Each structure stands twice: as C-alpha cells, then as structure tokens.
Amino acid sequence: MKEQKNIPTTKTERSAKFVKTGFQIGGNYIKHYSKKLFNPDLSRDELNEDNANDIYNSLSELKGSALKIAQMLSMDKNMLPKSYVDKFTQSQYNAPPLSGPLIVQTFTKNFGKSPTQIFDTFKLQSTNAASIGQVHEAQLNGKKLAVKIQYPGVGDSISSDLKLVKPFAFRLLGMSEKELNIYIKEVEERLLEETDYELEVRRSIQFSNACKDLHNIVFPVYYPEYSGKRIITMDWIEGLHLKEFLKTQPSQQLCNKIGQAMWDFYNFQQHELRAVHADPHPGNFLITPDEKLGIIDFGCIKELPDDFYVPFFSLISSDVIKDKQKTIAAFRQLDMIQEKDNASQIEFYYKAYREMIELFARPYTSKTFDFSKPAFFEQLYAYGETIAKMPEFKQARGVKHFIYVNRTNFGLYSILHELKAVVQTDTYQPKV
C-alpha cells in the first residue's frame, strides 16, 4: 500500500480537504442524474460506489476522528448502502500508512528521542495502520514489541473534524440535527479519551488484570516507561485477524471456542465491571497460534452508569418486558418514551421498542445460542431498516449511552456471526 508522506493538521488544511470532497460528491450526483436522463431505470449503485470511494479516500488521508467515523459506520450494516460498508470496512484493518521519516519525526517530537535511541531495532514500515495510529515492530533486550504511534494532529482536530463531517453524516444517515448532535457529542467524548494514550495504558493494565482469569484470552504486557501521550509500547502478540483466521478454514470447534471467549470477555465486563471495551471491530483482536483470543486495544471504554444499566438490562434479562407498565417505566427512564408523548405515541413506541428489545435479547433467553443462523441477523437488519424509514424515529430518542452500548453488542453479535459460533450465553448474566 502506498505510504502517506503528510497529514493535513491545521483546521484550514482539513477544511479544504472536506470542501474538495464535497465538490467531488456534487460531481458524482451530476454525472448520475445526467445518465439517468437517458436511462430512467438506472440504479444508485454506481453513484454510491463513487461517493464511497471519494469519501473514504478523503477520510483515510485525514486519519483520526474522521476515519474513525467511517470505521464505526462500517459496522452498522443496516445504516449504509453496501458500497459504503465495503469501502469503509478497510478502515477496520488497514488505512494508508505514514512514511518512515514522518513516523521518526512524530516519535521524536513526542518522546524526545528517535525510535533507534530507545529500541534495539525498530521497523519503519508499519505492520498495521488504522484510524488513530499505526503499529510498528520493535525489539528490546531480546523481546519483540509492538509500538503504537498516534498520527500527528489527531488529538487536536477532533472537535473541528466532527463539525466538518456533519454534512456527510446528514446525507448518509438521514438523521435529524438534534439526533446527530447527541451522537456527535458522545463520539467526541470517547474519541478525546481514545487519543490520550497515557489513559489507554492505565486502562489496558486495569482491564487486563480484571479479566486475567477468563478462559482462552490473552493480553499483552504494557510498558509505561516506553509509552507516552502519543505512544504506546506493549508486547507483540502473534496471531491472525478474524478475516485471515477464517481463510485458514478453522474447525467449528475452534470457532466456537474463540466465540465463547469473545462472549465471556464482553459480558464479564458489562455485568461484573460495569464498563466495557466499546470498540469491537475485528482489527482489535487476534487469534493466536495456541488458539486463544488476543485483545490488543483498550482505547475506547464505555462506562455503564446505574441509571442506564439497571433499566436496560432488566428489560433483557428479567420478566420486566412481560409487564407493560414496568416496561413503559423502563422506557421512560431510558428516554425512549418521553414526557411530551401523548397516549397514542406511548402505545406506538411501546410496541416498536418492545419488538426491538425482544429481538436484541434473543441470545440471552436460552443457555446457548447459535450465531450461525442467518435468520436472526436478517431480522435484525430488516427491523433496523424499517425503523430508519419511520418518520417517528427521525427525532432523537434514548439516552446517549445507547450509542456505544448498541455498537458494542451488535459488533459482538456480528463477529460471532462471522465465526458461526455456538456459545453458552448464561456464563456472565446481567445483575439487576
């Protein structure tokens, strides 16, 4: 993949990039409607593909929060046309890497020394480049290390980038401005945390210690003395990302084993720690040669406060959903039903959200669940598409915590579906 020699870091440079992309998209629409004059039955497939390419190429050059949005959207398969999902999925594994000289410059600026002054060896060519940083292989005292270096300007451009990405999000998602602002604010808070690598190291050590007794899961050792505000050094974990792992045609028994480890990892955190690794895209996991699940990124953590956790998981794991008045009371707590709603609106949202919750909670309703069955996911995506088209859901509903909790659990479900895993789902249950 071609290396990127610079990143636009100033607000002016980044704004200009968005403006240029806006003009390209406008040109794509003109081209599409010109063709449609001669072919009224022309689909939007080519238009979506052209727009997806232009938007992704722009975001991948900007890195940071702009590219992170693409990564998140690629996981919400019912929110975007397939062309966008296919293109944005690249950000889960590989974005264009920065050139060697720029990495040395970034490393020296943040650490006061060049990589070769600290490590015995340091490979300038990255092994993995994603939205916020890229990973390099290093050696020190005979130990193989992974050194994650944040792209320059990423932490300083989050707020301005998210304002610039809004017009694209309006067009792609069809959200109301109020709903989008709630989404953007929550994303901004998490991204500001995600660019603080000193915080990530502390959390990585904390969470890996808390989860150390879970079966078939491994974590790298972290080295605070070789880490900083924009640099993280950890043990190198050998393994394959999910896509590479599945190409090896693993046995179903092994897929079930990895799927069980994934399920336990997430539900232990949600229900025992009340805080969860909220970035479940496949690039954050490795399947090791000794058949374990390696967790290599704790940048995005979502805490679950009691006033969200209790009503939400009581709907999923208890008999509350069978009691209409208790269900409505929980929906009010979660701002899914609001003060201004009249009787007919209350009834409408009660039925719609109850159907949604019952579908989402299906894996929790039995001791085991087979995530290979396509029917469950077809229902999930179909219901998501139906909801997205309803005018009643164009306005913001639900507390902000849903954004990352839904992303976490649907991301988990999607990975388990790719594994075609059958897992025991009663290992770590909600505590309400």
Query: Do 81 and 385 meet the contact criterion of CB atoms below 8 Å apart?
Result: no
Q: How far is CA 122 from CA 139, 158, 237, 240, 419, in A?
A: 7, 29, 16, 21, 34
Res 330 pLDDT > 60: yes
Between the ranges 44-58, 64-78, 82-96, 350-364, where is the mean pLDDT highest? 350-364
Arithmetic mean of pLDDT, 35-63: 57
Strand partners, 294: 218, 286
Q: Quick one: three-class SS letters along 43-84?
A: CCHHHHHHHHHHHHHHHHHHCHHHHHHHHHHHHCCCCCCHHH
Give the residue with greater pLDDT, 56 vs 428: 428
**What pLDDT score was predicted for residue 297?**
86
Mind listing the pLDDT tens digit for each residue in 140-181? 999 999 999 887 777 766 766 676 666 655 555 555 566 667
Res 29 pLDDT > 50: no
**What pLDDT score was predicted for residue 133?**
80
32-41, 172-181, 254-263, 342-351: the lowest-pLDDT one: 32-41
**What pLDDT score was predicted for residue 6?**
53
Give the residue with greater pLDDT, 431 vs 188: 431
Arithmetic mean of pLDDT, 314-332: 91
Nearest 5°: the CA angle 370, 373, 377 is: 110
Give the residue with greater pLDDT, 164 vs 17: 164
**What pLDDT score was predicted for residue 103?**
82
The mean pLDDT of the chain is: 80
Res 74 pLDDT > 80: no
Place of tokens 């509903």: 397
Query: Do 305 and 276 meet the contact criterion of CB atoms below 8 Å apart?
Result: no
Percent of the chain with pLDDT over 90: 44
Percent of the chain with pLDDT over 70: 70
- Residue 2 DSSP one-character state: P
Between the ranges 40-49, 80-89, 422-431, where is the mean pLDDT highest? 422-431
Mind listing the pLDDT tens digit for each residue in 281-300? 888 899 999 999 999 988 88
